[in-house]
Chain A
């Protein structure tokens, strides 16, 4: 599908700063205690007063926590002492005490997770951010104090796809935005897009490690972000987290999930999605039906974030290339931790003539069906679906764990499919793919790791061959795009190869210490092979590698 309702932001500046759009988030602080107690009450109820269930949950938590704290070398930590004591004495405690302990822990975790929303911070952010950015962007030597920020940001952040459908659905039910995730800047970019679309801020779970930066933390904490402690792996914590998300959705808080888990390490479009949090959309929907709420619907909106240049590319691909199992789940010492680097990156991205593209995909219901701007679900033949029927047993809406998991699995598959179809190919991806695949074809005996260590003189090809190959790929991409299987940027669609290459060299050559590729003496050659791999990975999964297959030998 072509972007049906691309929203040119320049002509639609969104609401005036300060004129906040309506949304549940604005009453968050008033409801916060209520939300926490609802979460805790549901968790306690889930245990159903069963000694076995309580013991299993508490023991599992103790086991995971003792393990984690011991491995982290926190031998003297009071936490470790607490869990050891719990583990030692749990068996002998009466039921009431076990339940009280469970309640205490659930409350502690819920309070740790819970976010905040400060209207003042929101107004400050929506006013300060543009001013700050326009200061950075002030052209050298001009006397104008501010450049027109709206026009600059709209050129740099392009928002396209099913934007108006998303806007309409946010008024009809609760929206879960599920973007691809490649950079810590994603939540900022998405936040900006949400604001520009005239929607209230979305709540989202952010890794606890991101809250260490005091300025970032201030804004995240006050703009509806809640904290996810990814070090905690036990069921008790994860269930509290899921229930927290469910309660927020039921109360109409639009939410942002990154279903790929952490930032995508490889640079490819995510295809293995985490279903745990995603399933809370369906739980909320069923609860809403049971409570006969007026706007029970939950809409899941996939979208892709497409950067011509990724701040953390080097760290991410390094992590990807670590031998399996050794890769780090939480990266704390990447480019993002250096404020000056983030600053330089933003400044450079904003001063380039390339854009970050946010492609909003077609909204889905919790079962993976397409949803129209009218808020109704449609099957693949265009019939309206009564989604209640999926969860009814004898005419009543019911949860059913195994069935609901399977529905969520199908939703996950629909999102993964939407990611592939809404992936926007920018010149940097195409150029990186062309060079990397050609080098791979030219060195058939090398495995990936040897290929990455290709000596400089072997890591290039002639410019004319490069252009010819790129053109073949470009034509193939245009065909894929016309049959709705991928999106391509205007430059890629229009060509020619020379213009695409020039565009890519400008963006890729800008920020990275060693650029992924360079052009010199009528040759294109790899600079940093790993970065080249990172950017080319965005084009994997479409079968394009087959175009480089060896000639059939007679």
Chain B
């Protein structure tokens, strides 16, 4: 008996009709599962059901007939034992507020969202725990450019959860000859790696846009990984997670690929466009832009040394010219451990 059957509900739910949500629904359906794909947009649902297409995000992919699209969250809660949550991070709480009314403790929720909540600095799994009664929660993250997975290029991902049952369920529903799932108990490390690599993708796009070569890129990526690991371990993650698929792996895919939205943001900024202009004509959100702000603010108040993140933040939000910010990174006269970032004035006399 499969884990999905054990939940007592025979379908897989996918929340979010963006490109990654649609591709995951396609993978799950191709593995033989009946899939319900939820999206906000009735036209997309209509197109999926009538023409097996998602014209907005993946016009070229013919979707598996096992997918049924819906705009009704109650439908997902009622019929799906395993639900993949792939809505944009800023829409998560709102979506769960409704879905939560239709969930119980037997549901398995696996999110595939990159991002950290601004101000609260909460990870997506923490939001799932806050907004629903579910405990069997996991995260799916890895070097997975949606279009490549859709084309059936060999790829792999990680599902992290404290519950073996969640990992097993996720592995079963996504089983395919070209897509492999690895399990990991380290939820924090998997989420932090997946979210913060978007900052490094912007950095990578910047370096390319400025015409720098591979030395610069290697510098940014390895030191970028080091600062992400430093933050992650401080939050309770295991260091080895960051050198795995969901850490280094994801970062390589995102930073080397011109397909990545975050890379494109960096690349166009380097060529002199403004952030507003870049964002205006991007159809999907570049999570890295928001993540940079969230992380930079957090590390400033908590005294964590993350110079690359700090540099990207200054380019994005303080209009520092990219070249200047990158140069500051290489300035050896600044001893990293004596920076004043994060130090707060004493309040006691």
Contact = CB atoms under 8 A, between A and B. Distances in A.
Interface of A: 367, 369, 379-381, 383, 385-395, 400, 402-403, 406-407, 409-410, 438, 441, 465, 468-469, 472-473, 476, 546-553
Contact of B163 (A380, A406, A468): A406
Contact of A392 (B1, B8, B132): B8
B347 A394 contact: no
B131 interface: yes
Interface in B95-113: 97, 100-101, 104-106
A547 B348 contact: yes
A549 B349 contact: no
A392 B6 CA distance: 9
Interface in B319-349: 340, 343-349
A549 B346 contact: yes
Nearest to A550: B346
B135 interface: yes
B345 A551 contact: yes
Given A468-B349, A469-B348, A549-B344, A390 B129 contact: no
27 contacts: A379-B132, A380-B129, A380-B131, A381-B97, A383-B100, A383-B101, A389-B104, A390-B106, A392-B8, A393-B6, A394-B6, A395-B8, A402-B163, A403-B163, A403-B164, A403-B165, A406-B135, A409-B162, A410-B135, A441-B346, A465-B349, A469-B349, A473-B348, A546-B344, A548-B348, A549-B345, A549-B346
B104 A402 contact: no
Most buried by A among B136, B347, B348, B349: B348
Contacts of B132: 379, 381
B100 A548 contact: no
B151 interface: no
Contacts of B164: 402-403
B100 A547 contact: no
- Give the interface SS of chain B, mostly helix, strand, loop or mixed: loop
Nearest to A472: B348
A288 B100 CA distance: 28
Contacts of A406: 135, 162-163
Interface in B1-31: 1, 5-6, 8
Given A379-B133, A547-B346, A552 B106 contact: no
B130 interface: yes
A245 to B, nearest CB: 23
Nearest to A546: B344
Given A386-B105, A400-B165, A394 B344 contact: no
A527 to B, nearest CB: 22
Contacts of A392: 8, 106
Nearest to B97: A381
Contacts of B100: 379, 381, 383
Contacts of A403: 136, 163-165
Interface of B: 1, 5-6, 8, 97, 100-101, 104-106, 129-133, 135-136, 162-165, 340, 343-349
A367 B135 contact: yes
A552 B100 CA distance: 46
A402 B136 CA distance: 12
Nearest to B343: A552
A436 to B, nearest CB: 13
Given A381-B97, A552-B340, A387 B105 contact: yes
Nearest to B104: A389
Contacts of B130: 380-381
Contacts of B97: 381
Nearest to B340: A552
A388 to B, nearest CB: 8
Given A380-B131, A390-B106, A548 B163 contact: no
B347 A472 contact: yes
Nearest to B101: A383
A1 to B, nearest CB: 17
Contacts of B162: 406, 409-410
B163 A549 contact: no
B105 A389 contact: yes
Given A379-B132, A400-B165, A390 B346 contact: no
A403 B162 CA distance: 8
B130 to A, nearest CB: 5
Contacts of B129: 380
A129 B347 CA distance: 48
Contact of A389 (B106, B163, B344, B345): B106
Nearest to A466: B349
Given A392-B106, A550-B343, A385 B133 contact: yes
Contacts of B348: 438, 441, 468-469, 472-473, 547-548
Nearest to B93: A381
Nearest to A465: B349
Given A380-B129, A380-B130, A389-B104, 15 more contacts: A379-B100, A379-B133, A381-B97, A381-B132, A383-B100, A383-B133, A385-B104, A407-B135, A410-B135, A410-B162, A468-B349, A472-B348, A546-B344, A548-B348, A550-B343
Contacts of A383: 100-101, 133
A474 to B, nearest CB: 11
Contacts of A438: 348
